[in-house]
Structure formats: structure tokens, C-alpha cells
Structure 1
Amino acid sequence: MALQRILAVDDEPFNLEIIEEILEDLNFDLLLASSGPECLDMIESFDPQVILLDVSMPKMNGYDVCRAIKANPETHHIVVMFVSARGSVEERMEGYSVGAEDYIVKPFGQGELKTKLLNLSQMLLDKDILEQQVEEATSTAFDAMATSSEMGQIVNYIEQISLLDDIPTLANAMTKCLSSFGLNSNVEIRIDEQRHHFATTGLCSPIVIELFDILKSKGRLHEFTNRVLVNYDLVSVLILNMPKDESKHGRIRDHICFLVSVTEQQLTAILTRHELAAQRQSLDKAQAMVNGKFTSLMGMLETNRKQSETVFRALQERFETRIPSMGLDEDQEVFIFSNVDEAIQNSIAREEAIDMIKSAFKEIEGDLALLSEHEKG
């Protein structure tokens, strides 16, 4: 702010009149004080930007007044210019040591005082600009620090949920992450026809659950008062206390949208893993069933083969024992032995078919095992 309010302090009325006359055409608000205590009393009500302060005054000299001004946190910002008939180096150094910003020696010319005050006015403007720049830089630095901290929370959340395989744990991790931003959150997760609700406070209120249902068709992002609802296919998040600061509000809103997106992807991955696990379990059951039936069938076939082999061996032994004593001619014996031999050969062929069936079942069992291992991988 440019210089507007000046307080002149001198125990000599004539000196005050000179100052008043010099500053008359500069359009400053000028008040006059005749002593140090009076100056200190007037500061609170007038709030001067610059004080023209005489050094040699009774009761309380200018140095003491300046010390009091600079020691007070409410007034230390006021610019003090000493106005003194004593202008030695030592006296000037004393003035600067107690906190004064400038020094002018009596008698001074009209132009000299005006120039010094105009320079002080520019200094105040530059100071305001610098303070504004510092404030903006500080704000930017704090925003950057806040953003860095928030991004750290988000990165930790992403790393954490990548290890989760349980939907309630995933939802609770999300509400905990949002709580680290100071947000009161409610979460709805939709799986098939079921809706699951989670909240920072532990339970979603009936009106919040109703809001999820009403606003699920309002698009990806819906804002009302200080609340934000983010909708994805499987996950919706309602924040009840968004920041009022515009820049922080926008930043946090972007964080929420990103978190919901990441949570949706992780939820999809969890559901996919669960579905694959169910399919793998069904496949394992099918493999076990096929293996059981195959083992039972092979047992039956093996039993049948052994029984047939026993029957044919017994028949062959009987023929070999009885035919020579039956008085048959050679053609009859050849006929009987040929038929017996054909029956035995047919039995052997049937055993080869059984071996082929065993081989086929083994291949089926191997394919099922490979498929199961592939699903597990």
C-alpha cells in the first residue's frame, strides 16, 4: 500500500508547523504529537505508516520511543524516520541500531523531506509486493508439500491393495486412505445384484444408501454443496466434507477420482481371481471324477480279462486231454483245435482293445492335469 498516514513527533511546535507546511500539497493524512508518550498513545488509533520522530525530547527521547515501537509486535512494522539537529555518524548509528529506517538532519529543505517520504512510499509499495510474492511462494510451497504428502498416501494405498484379495479389506483400506486426507467417506461396492456398504464412521446411514441409489445414474462425477459423488461400474464413493478452499478442493477431487478408478481395477482383479479359482476347483473335481471312473473301469476290465484268460486256459486243457481219447478222425480234431485257437485269438484282440482304451483314458487324464496346471499358473 502506498504511503498515506504520517505521524510527526516533536516537542517544538514550530518544527511541527514546518513539517505540516511542507507536506500540505502531498495529500497525506498527517497527525502531530508533542511528546514520546503522546506518540505511543496515538499509534493505536491512527495506525501510521511512517513516524517522523524528533530525537531530543524531554521525558522520553526519540531513541526510547523507537525502541518501544519496534519492540511491540503490533507496531514494529511502522517505518521510523528520525528528525534531528544532531547528525553525527555516532548519532545516526544509534538511530539505526534502535530500528529506524531513515534519518534526516535539521534544518532540512522542503525538497529533501518530500523526496525521502516519496522514497519511503515506494519502499512500502515494494514491501507489499515482496510480501505478496513471499505469501504466494509460501502458499505454493505448502501446496507442493501437501500434494507430495497426498501422492505419498496414494502410492502407499496402491502398493497395499495390490496384495489384497478380500473385498471388505479393500473397501476399508480405501476409507482409511481417504481419512488420511481428512475426508468423511462412504463407499458402495456392487457385485452381481448385491450392494455392500462401508464408511469412515463404520456404517452408512440410510439416507446415504438412498443417495447412492438415486445418483448412480448421474454420471461419473456429481458435486453438490460440499459433497462429491464419484461413480464407477462397481464402486461409488460419496465424500461428505470436501475442502472449501478452491485449489485444494480441485486437487482432492482429482485424487478421489483416481483412487476410485484404481480401486475399481483392483476389485475387478479380485473378482476375476475368485472366478478363476472357482473354475479351477470345478476342473479339479472333474479330473478327480474322471480319474476315479477310469480307475474303476480299468479294474473291471482287468478282472474280466483275467476271468476270460482262466476260462480259455481251462477249456484248452480239457480239449487237449479229452480229444485224443474221443476217437475223432484228423479232420475233426483240426476243426475243433482251429475253433479253439480262433476263440483264443479273439480274446487276445479284445485285450488289445482294452489296452487302447487305457491309453485313451490316460491321455484324457493327462490333458486335464495340464489344463489344471495352466489355470493355476
Structure 2
Amino acid sequence: MALQRVLAVDDEPFNLEIIEEILEDLDFELRTACSGPECLGMLEDFDPQVVLLDVSMPNMNGYEVCRKIKSNPETSHIVVMFVSARGSVEERMEGYAVGAEDYIVKPFGQSELTSKLIKLGQMLLEKDILEQQVEDATSTAFSAMATSSEMGQIVNYIEHIGNIDNIPDLAAALINCMANFGLSCNVEVRTDTQNMHFASSGVCSPIVLELFEILKSKGRLHEFTSRILVNYDYISALVLNMPEGDADKHGRIRDHICFIVSVTEQQLLAIQTRNELRQQQQNLNGAIAMINSKFKGLISLLDNNRKQNEAVFRGLQEQFEHRIPTMGLDEDQELYIYNHVDEAIQKSVARQEAVMQVKAAFAEIETDLAALSHKVDEK
């Protein structure tokens, strides 16, 4: 802020008149006081930026006045420039010791006083700029610290929900994450078969359920009073107590909420996908077990048939070998019968080899199914 208000303090009215003449052309308001107590009494109402303070005054000298100005937190910011007829090094050092910013020795010329005030005005401007920079830097630092802490909460949440494998636990984690930001919320999770509701208070009120139903297809974000509703395809979150009075924090928290709900929905989809894969795996395992059982039953049936055929042909062969010699057949007839019996036995042996091939084929199929089941388990 530019120099606008100056208070001159001197027990000699003539000295005050000189100061008024010197400063009458400058663009700021000048007021005067004739004593230390009068000066101190004017500080609150006038709020001068600079006090031109005479050192040698009765009852309360300039050093005492300066001490009181600088010791009061309400007035310590005021710039004090001593005006004195004595300008020794000791006196100047005493002036600096009580907190004064400048010192001018009487008599002084117009240019000297004007130059000093202009420099003090520049100092005030630079001081204001520096204070604003410090304030901005402090605000930025606190905002960065807050953001860093909030992002830490979000990172922890993302790491945590990666291990969650069911919807109720996922909703509880979302509500707890919101609570870490000081937020109370209601959550709706939509699946193909049902809508599930969760709340910080334990249960969603009827009006909240209506809001979820009405607004779930009306856009991503809805803000009203201190509440905000965030919609995604499968999750909606209604926050009941958004921060007020701090626009930056409000906007930051709003962005965090959108991101958190988005991440939660992705984990919900991952949970649903894993559940579907588990169901597919169970179905596949059941199918494999059924096929395996049928294969084994069929192999057993084929094997039994082979054994029965083998026993039948063996018995038939024994009967022929026992009965043919007693039937009075000639050699050609006996040979004809034996050849046909041997041919039938050879065909039976061929069927046995076919059964072994079927067994081998079934074994390969069983191995392939086991490998397929193992791949699905890995997914």
C-alpha cells in the first residue's frame, strides 16, 4: 500500500508548521500531535503508516513513545522516524534500539524530509508485497500439505481395495475412505440382479433411495447445498457434508470424490469378473467330472464286452475241438469249420485292439480337459 497517512509529533507548534509546509504538496494525509500521550491516543483512530516523532518532549520523550508503539501488537507495524536536533551516533543507536526505522536531524531541508518519506513509502510497498508473498507461499504450502495428505489417503485406499473380493466389504471401504476426509455418505451399488445400499449411518433413508433412483441416469455430478451426488454406471455416492467456506478445498474434495468412486467402480467390475470366472470354473469342473465319469463308464462297458466275447469264443473253440472229431466229418469239412472259428476269433482280437485305441483316445481327452481346467484356474 502506498504511503497515505503521516502523523507528526512535536511539542513545538512551530516545528509542526514547518513540517506541514514541507509536506503540503505531497499526496497523503498529515495530522499532528503535541505530546507523546496525544500521539498514542490518535493511533487507533487515525492508523498512521508513518510517525515523525520528536525525541525531546516533556513528560514522555520520543524514545518512550516509540517503545509503546512497538511493544503493542496492534501498532508495532507503524514506521517511526525520529526527528531530533541531536544526531550523535549514540542517540541514533538508541533510536534504533527502541525500534525506529529512520532518523532525521533538525534542521532539515524540504528535499531531505521528502526524500526520506518517499523511501519509507517505497519500503511500505515492498513490505506489503513481501507479506502478500509470504501469505501466498504459506497458503500454497498448507494447501500442498493438505493435498499430499489427501493423496496419501487415496493411494492407501486403492492399495486396500485391490485385496477386497466382495461387494459389502468394498462399500464399507468406500464409506471408511470418505470418513477419513470427514465426509458422511450413502452408496448405491448396482449389479445385474439387484441394487445394494450402504450408508455411514448404517441405513439409507427413503429420500436418499429416491434420489439415487431419480438421478442415476441424469449425469455424472449433482451439487445441491452442502451435498454432492456422483454417478457412475454401477456405483453412486451421495456425500452429505461437503466443506463450506473454502472454495479451493471444496473443489479439491469434489475431485477426490469423483476419482475415488471411479476407482471403486473399477474394483467392483474386477470383483464381478472374478466371480463370473469362478462360476465358469465351477461349471467347467463339473462338466469335466461328468465327462470323465461317463468316459470311465464307457471304457468299463467296452472292456466288459471284450472279456465276455473272449470267454464266449474260448468256450466255443473248446466245444469245437471236443466235438468235431466225433462228428464223422471229412478233413475238408473239419478244416472249413476250424478256419471260420479262427476267423471269428481274429475278429474278436481286432475288437480288443479297437477297445485299447478307444482307451488311449479317452486318456488323451482327459489330459486335455485337465490342462484346460488348470488354465482357467490360473486366470
Same fold (TM over 0.5): yes
Establish whether residue 363 from structure 1 lines up as the match of residue 371 from structure 2: no
The alpha-carbon deviation at position 236 of structure 1 amounts to 1.7
User: Counterpart of 1:317?
Assistant: 318
The alpha-carbon deviation at position 29 of structure 1 amounts to 3.1
The alpha-carbon deviation at position 287 of structure 1 amounts to 0.9
User: Counterpart of 1:111?
Assistant: 111
Q: Distance in 1 between matches of 2:136 and 2:92?
A: 36
User: Counterpart of 1:201?
Assistant: 201
- State the secondary structure of the residue aligned to 2:104: strand
The alpha-carbon deviation at position 27 of structure 1 amounts to 4.8
- After superposition, the C-alpha distances for 1:92-138 in whole angstroms (9 at most, x for unaligned) are 11111111111111222233223222322222222222222222222
- State the secondary structure of the residue aligned to 1:201: coil
- After superposition, the C-alpha distances for 1:1-35 in whole angstroms (9 at most, x for unaligned) are 22222222222333233333433333533333333
User: Counterpart of 1:375?
Assistant: 376
User: Counterpart of 1:169?
Assistant: 169
Establish whether residue 279 from structure 1 lines up as the match of residue 273 from structure 2: no
User: Counterpart of 1:23?
Assistant: 23
Q: Distance in 1 between matches of 2:176 and 2:40?
A: 55
Identical columns (%): 72
Q: Distance in 1 between matches of 2:318 and 2:281?
A: 55
The alpha-carbon deviation at position 296 of structure 1 amounts to 2.3
Q: Distance in 1 between matches of 2:148 and 2:241?
A: 21
- State the secondary structure of the residue aligned to 1:26: coil
Q: How does 1:41-80 map to 2 (within 5 A)?
A: 41-80=41-80
Q: Distance in 1 between matches of 2:117 and 2:7?
A: 12
Q: Distance in 1 between matches of 2:336 and 2:284?
A: 55
The alpha-carbon deviation at position 369 of structure 1 amounts to 1.2
Q: How does 1:234-273 map to 2 (within 5 A)?
A: 234-244=234-244, 245-273=246-274
User: Counterpart of 2:215?
Assistant: 215
User: Counterpart of 2:332?
Assistant: 331
Q: Distance in 2 between matches of 1:51 and 1:345?
A: 131
Q: Distance in 2 between matches of 1:214 and 1:250?
A: 25
User: Counterpart of 2:144?
Assistant: 144
- After superposition, the C-alpha distances for 1:250-301 in whole angstroms (9 at most, x for unaligned) are 3333222222222222211111111011101111111111112222222232
- After superposition, the C-alpha distances for 1:19-64 in whole angstroms (9 at most, x for unaligned) are 3343333353333333323322322232221111121223322212
Q: Distance in 1 between matches of 2:132 and 2:254?
A: 28
- State the secondary structure of the residue aligned to 2:25: helix
The alpha-carbon deviation at position 215 of structure 1 amounts to 0.9
Q: Distance in 1 between matches of 2:306 and 2:27?
A: 127
For structure 1, list consecutive stretches of 5 or more residues without a partner in the other structure.
none
The alpha-carbon deviation at position 182 of structure 1 amounts to 2.9
Q: Distance in 1 between matches of 2:259 and 2:363?
A: 51
User: Counterpart of 2:126?
Assistant: 126
Give the residue type in structure 1 aligned to 2:327: M
- After superposition, the C-alpha distances for 1:320-352 in whole angstroms (9 at most, x for unaligned) are 122222322223322332332233223222222
- After superposition, the C-alpha distances for 1:156-182 in whole angstroms (9 at most, x for unaligned) are 222222222222222222232333333
The alpha-carbon deviation at position 202 of structure 1 amounts to 3.4
For structure 2, list consecutive stretches of 5 or more residues without a partner in the other structure.
none
Q: TM-score, normalised by structure 2?
A: 0.91
Give the residue type in structure 1 aligned to 2:120: L
Higher alpha-carbon deviation: 72-81 or 159-168:
159-168
User: Counterpart of 1:340?
Assistant: 341
Give the residue type in structure 2 aligned to 1:109: G
Give the residue type in structure 1 aligned to 2:142: F
Q: Distance in 1 between matches of 2:235 and 2:96?
A: 67
Q: TM-score, normalised by structure 1?
A: 0.92
Q: Distance in 2 between matches of 1:180 and 1:54?
A: 60
Higher alpha-carbon deviation: 365-374 or 246-255:
246-255
- State the secondary structure of the residue aligned to 1:233: coil
- State the secondary structure of the residue aligned to 2:374: helix
Q: 1:282 to 1:301 in 2, by over 3 A?
A: same
Higher alpha-carbon deviation: 342-351 or 27-36:
27-36
User: Counterpart of 1:154?
Assistant: 154
Q: Distance in 2 between matches of 1:127 and 1:113?
A: 21
- State the secondary structure of the residue aligned to 2:145: helix
Q: Distance in 2 between matches of 1:130 and 1:117?
A: 20
Q: Distance in 2 between matches of 1:302 and 1:351?
A: 8
- State the secondary structure of the residue aligned to 2:212: helix
Q: Distance in 1 between matches of 2:292 and 2:193?
A: 37
User: Counterpart of 2:290?
Assistant: 289
User: Counterpart of 1:306?
Assistant: 307
Higher alpha-carbon deviation: 10-19 or 89-98:
10-19
User: Counterpart of 1:12?
Assistant: 12
- State the secondary structure of the residue aligned to 2:76: coil
User: Counterpart of 1:98?
Assistant: 98
Give the residue type in structure 2 aligned to 1:62: G
- After superposition, the C-alpha distances for 1:172-202 in whole angstroms (9 at most, x for unaligned) are 2223233333333322211113112223333
Q: 1:289 to 1:193 in 2, by over 3 A?
A: closer
Q: Distance in 2 between matches of 1:83 and 1:183?
A: 60
